[in-house]
């Protein structure tokens, strides 16, 4: 079945550091890929998405590129801020019409000033 594997956390960085959170997936066909973010005490929000190979999703300084050849969708940001502290989830969407999301386990990110 479909699955998503994310880099283990927690991750702690200093402000202005470069961030990479790794995500790889296993899926049949060509799923859509997503990064969701969960701020403390809140529900999940879509951060960015990519719907086909070589697409780059971007939002709020974060980027991720859909790499079919390596089945990866790594999240990157060039200079993180304290406000980026959150839990980040990589996910893929089942394309069989029901849009079932399959999530990775989540990576907790803490940014220190």
Tokens, residue 107? 């990576």
CA 64 to chain centroid? 7
With a CB cutoff of 8 Å and minimum separation 6, the contacts of 42 are: none
Residues forming beta bridges with residue 1, ordered by sequence position: none
The nearest distance, CB 34 to another protein, in angstroms, is 6
For another protein, the binding residues (CB under 8 A) are 4, 6, 32, 34, 36, 42-46, 49, 51, 89, 93, 95, 97-106
User: Least distance to another protein from the beta carbon of 64, Å?
Assistant: 14
Q: Whose Cβ is closer to another protein: residue 5's or residue 17's?
A: 5
């Amino acid at each position: 079945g479909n699955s998503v594997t994310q880099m283990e956390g927690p991750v702690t960085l200093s402000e202005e550091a470069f961030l990479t959170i790794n995500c790889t997936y296993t899926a049949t066909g060509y799923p859509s890929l997503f990064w969701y973010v969960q701020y403390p005490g809140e529900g999940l929000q879509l951060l960015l998405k990519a719907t086909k190979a070589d697409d780059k999703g971007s939002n709020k300084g974060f980027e991720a590129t859909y790499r079919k050849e390596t089945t990866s969708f790594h999240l990157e940001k060039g200079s993180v801020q304290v406000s980026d502290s959150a839990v980040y989830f990589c996910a893929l969407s089942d394309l069989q019409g029901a849009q079932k999301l399959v999530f990775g386990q989540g990576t907790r990110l803490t940014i220190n000033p």
